[in-house]
């Protein structure tokens, strides 16, 4: 089957991609920093390659000889918005440049983006991949820039872009706070009486990355990777509560209060010199009413329609959280 290079391999999403590739029969070369926490890769048969997105020499060696690349590395929180650009855009350019110079005959490059690059849907009608992007955050703008850089190479390299939404699953720390809220009896909604969203179970996303490598789709193809069914936050909370044998009640958080929390969180993060996921930027994103996307393109072109429903995925996630003492 050949080898696949995975950038950001030790993270939440990256480690699941590595496992899915191994299960599909690929060898995996994991690009990690020497300072990386490798706990998520422990016990897996991956080949570690030490390097970084801003180290062109290491990237040239990392991409050499592999059959495909999954460019999954990315920055999701930062005190300085410019840092998003350095990793999510400039880092993407470095990976593609390295492939062009050291392995131009590569079979596939899968670029991991996000629905944040597209922005929320303007109504309760799901949007498709032809929707004009309108990202709300510095993170989303950097991911969109990474997409555009990737598409600049589509005539020279076989690239595919994946856009997941609200990724959750075992090993995830960002969605853990929502699960904890429900455990303590609260189902939050932000800025509106109710928010609506498509979720992406991390194992589905990992399988989609494998599909994108194996499928002969045209270069430059972009796909939303989301469970077909959408959920209100309240409905998702009820499913989580039912799994945990709890009762939870709706908690409406006005947009101005969420924004204030974002401002305070930003200031604390700067004082601690440690970035927080909740910022004023992120608050605007969270308070959007609709994050609804159409899954028909990936189902039609990649034959990917075996979605994990949120109840099943949440149950697996809760079981893992409990096993690790996180919940």
User: What does each C-alpha distance from 29 to 93, 257, 259, 275 come to in angstroms?
Assistant: 20, 45, 41, 29
CA distance 56 to 150: 17
Backbone angles phi, psi at 318, to 5 degrees: -60, -45
Q: Is the pLDDT of residue 76 over 80?
A: yes
pLDDT in tens, 27-68: 999 999 999 999 999 999 999 999 999 999 999 999 999 999
Q: Is the pLDDT of residue 225 over 80?
A: yes
- Got the DSSP string for 102-168? H-TT-SEEEEE--GGGT---SSSSPB-TTSPP---SHHHHHHHHHHHHHHHTTTTS-EEEEEE-SEE
Mean pLDDT of 11-23: 98
pLDDT, residue 166, reads: 95
Which of the four pLDDT bands, split at 50, 70 and 90, describes residue 253?
A: confident
CA-wise closest residue to 127 among 235, 230, 255: 230
Which of the four pLDDT bands, split at 50, 70 and 90, describes residue 237?
A: very high
Structural domains of the chain sorted by starting position, each given as residue range(s) with its CATH number in brackets:
3-172+199-228+291-307 (3.40.50.720)
Contact 124, 100 (CB under 8 A): no
217: alpha, beta or left? (left if phi > 0; alpha if psi -120 to 50): beta
- Got the DSSP string for 258-290? HHHHHHHHHHHHHHHT---S--HHHHHHHT-SE
Q: Is the pLDDT of residue 245 over 80?
A: yes
């Amino acid at each position: 089957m050949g080898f696949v290079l995975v950038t950001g391999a030790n993270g939440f999403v990256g480690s699941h991609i590595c496992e899915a590739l191994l299960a599909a029969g690929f060898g995996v070369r994991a690009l990690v920093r020497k300072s990386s926490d490798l706990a998520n890769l422990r016990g897996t048969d991956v080949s570690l390659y030490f390097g970084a997105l801003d180290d062109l020499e290491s990237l040239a060696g990392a991409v050499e000889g592999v059959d495909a690349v999954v460019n999954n590395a990315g920055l999701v929180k930062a005190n300085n918005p410019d840092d998003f650009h350095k990793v999510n855009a400039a880092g993407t350019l470095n990976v593609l440049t390295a492939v062009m110079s050291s392995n131009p005959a590569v079979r596939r490059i899968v670029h991991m983006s996000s629905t944040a690059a597209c922005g929320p849907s303007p109504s309760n009608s799901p949007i498709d991949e032809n929707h004009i992007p309108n990202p709300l955050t510095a993170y989303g703008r950097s991911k969109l820039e990474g997409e555009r850089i990737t598409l600049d190479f589509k005539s020279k390299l076989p690239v595919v872009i994946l856009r997941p939404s609200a990724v959750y699953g075992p090993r995830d720390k960002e969605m853990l706070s929502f699960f904890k809220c429900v455990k303590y009896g609260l189902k939050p909604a932000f800025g509106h009486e109710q928010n609506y969203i498509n979720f992406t179970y991390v194992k589905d996303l990992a399988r989609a990355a494998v599909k994108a490598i194996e499928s002969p789709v045209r270069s430059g193809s972009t796909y939303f990777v989301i469970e077909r069914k959408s959920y209100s936050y309240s409905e998702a909370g009820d499913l989580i509560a039912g799994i945990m044998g709890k009762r939870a009640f709706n908690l409406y958080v006005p947009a101005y209060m969420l924004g204030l929390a974002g401002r305070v969180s930003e200031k604390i993060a700067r004082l601690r010199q440690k970035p927080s996921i909740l910022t004023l930027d992120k608050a605007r994103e969270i308070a959007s009413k609709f994050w609804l996307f159409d899954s028909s393109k990936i189902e039609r072109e990649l034959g990917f329609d075996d979605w994990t429903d949120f109840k099943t995925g949440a149950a697996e996630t809760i079981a893992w959280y409990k096993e690790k003492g996180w919940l």
